[in-house]
Amino acid sequence: MPFSRTEAPGELRKLEQLCNSARLLYTEDALITSTSASAWLRANGVDVGDLNRKEHELLLKLRETIRDHLDGQERTAELNKLAKVLLAPPRWSEHGEPVLPPRKTGPFDAYLGECLALVFIGGLTGELDRLKVCRNPDCRWVFYDRSPGQSSVWCSMDLCGARQETRYRSRHAR
C-alpha cells in the first residue's frame, strides 16, 4: 500500500505485520490458504513446515482477534481462550525480567505465543494504544500512531482519509 507511515517500533512491528498480512482494501490475504500462510511465516522468519488445518485456523483466529481488539471491539473471551492455548504462566527470566512465555516451544507455537504476549504486555505498558486500525471499514490496516495526541484514525490521509471525507461531504452537501 502506498502509505507514508513508517513501521511500528520494536516488537510491535511483529503485530503490525501479522495484522497487515491481509490487505483488505485490495482483497489480498497472504494467509488465505495453509500453503500461503506457511510461506508468509517463513518469509517473516518463522521456521515452519506446512501448516495443518488446525494450525492455519489458529493463526487466522489470532490475527483477527488481535485486529478486532486493537479496533476497540470486545474480544476478552477470545483473548482468554487464546491465552490458555498459547501462553504459559508468567515468570522471571534468569536476568530477573518478567516474561510471559509461550506454552509450547516449537517455532509456530512460539511465534503465536510471542504475538499474544506482545498484546498483553503492550496493554499493560500502554504501548499498544499507539497501534490503531484504520477507521475505513473496507481497509482496517493496522498502523502505529506517532501523532503527539495519538489522534490518527486513518492509515493514510491520502487514501482512506480522503475517501471518507469525500463521502461525508457528498452526504452533507444535499
User: ∠168-67-20 over CA atoms, to 5°?
Assistant: 85
Tens digits of per-residue pLDDT, 85-117?
A: 999 999 999 999 999 999 999 999 999 999 999
- Give the domain ranges of the chain: 12-172
The answer to whether residues 118 and 127 touch, using CB atoms and an 8 Å cutoff, is no
Q: What fold characterizes domain 12-172?
A: Jann2411-like fold (1.10.3300)
Tens digits of per-residue pLDDT, 45-54?
A: 999 999 999 9
Measured distance CA(93)–CA(44) in Å, rounded: 26
pTM: 0.89
